Chain A
Amino acid sequence: MAVEFDNDVGFEGALLIGWANVGRERIRCLAGRETINELPGFTHATAAEIRSRKREIFEELKPEFIRKIEGRQLDRSTIPSVTVYWRDLPAHH
């Protein structure tokens, strides 16, 4: 089933938060500062920089969210969630 994403992307200082929809299931997509700082161009990005470019960052991470959702690698959480960690990024595979 296709993974589709909401347009809303939030950032609260440490975590980037978006939402994916797989059929009727809604899955929260999370990435922390540590992961974001591994992305090219964001190595030393401050919280304010991440906040202002959060949609661009989320776009970059979408393939990893899709991979985790399709692999059912969900977090142990009351809200269905997937978290992309720095070790999940292609450069660390």
Chain B
Amino acid sequence: MKRVFALIAVAALAAGCGGGQTATPEPTAGGGSPQKVTLEWWHLSTSDPLKSVYENRAKEFQAKYPHVTIKMTVLENEAYKSKVTTLTQSGKAPDLFATWGGGVLKQQIDAGLVKDISGDVAPVLGTFTKAALAAYQFDGKTYALPTDIGMVGFWYNKKLFEQAGITEPPATWSAYLDAVKKLKAAGTTPIALAGKEKWPGHYYWAYLAMRIAGLPALQQAGVDHDFTKPEFVQAGQQLKALVDLQPFQKGFLGASYSTPDGQAATVSNGKAAMELMGQWAPNVQNDAGKGLKDDLGFFPFPAVDGGKGTVADAFGGGGGMAVGADAPAEAIELAKFLTEIGNHTKAVAENAVLPVLKGEESAVKDANLKVVADSLANATGFQLFLDQAYPPAVGAEVNDSVAELIAGTKTPEQVAADITEVAKSE
């Protein structure tokens, strides 16, 4: 009995002390050949196919450059964000790390943690599409190479829509609210939402703000820090109108995104009719649940009647790989290696990512991802995720306030006022 006890204690202890390593390359003398280099590579692709794609690329890169050892740290979204923040605040950065660009990357650049790679990537810069690069360029300098670009939209279960008598995906917000009512009447949970994680909820508010106030207004608010304009309040009111229909799954306020009972799994197992999510949704659905296969469909966030934005304005983001300020030159090589046309097209063909290079569109095989890629190619405007586009405190306040609106503890006016207050104090 004592031994069992000790075993439990050891297991618990081991579980308690995970992580904590820092990114220090170990340059050891290596005779005539190039010095041995260890690359710390952090990314957040925890589910296949991208997870295996990156593992394969790492192996190939090490085979090509035998003096390089790649150490990968792979963490899920929220854990990744906090671990990167913890590390960067201690004045270090991984050699190569996944980034969404925008305000968070800007803050890291201002702190001198990210390498300006403009010179090194100048020869390949022309191969990328403009939209894909936008989030990683500041003042004409490039700080990361994009690996993925996509947009948020509704991923829905065609069969459940049909059963509720909805013949085609709603194109306007009022039609959308009707569809939610019809689904409810048919006994189906209309929407799955990960309330615990906050960021999936902010998509609704951001899209409504884009549709009602228009893209320029949203971008202006990022500059003049004023989110109290009536259009932003209306966005909150429309979201409240949706929440009042009680469209979400049971216990959604405590639900996570990718856990076995989370948002993705709920849709994947046919227990809810749709979710508002980015281009990675099908992969996470397949990972977390049974998967919808041919029943899965995609439609863009509907337009709001009388709003200034159009249905063709896209909201989303992708991912890029940034290089730490003290990283060895091999880190830049690895970033280039991942995004060279041969390798990246392979990843696109595996439905792991969407095209970021010119002329890759034909490699998209999956029908739904093709819709996403095409909508993106024809988008009239593009807005990066608000919790990445704005400085961290403002982004977090957007997520937090919208979560409270959805939980019913804040009014649309309070949401607008609270975001403004934080934005002004930054």
A and B: real partners? no
List chain A positions with a Cβ less than 8 A from chain B.
none
Q: Which B residues are within 8 Å of any A CB, using their own CB?
A: none
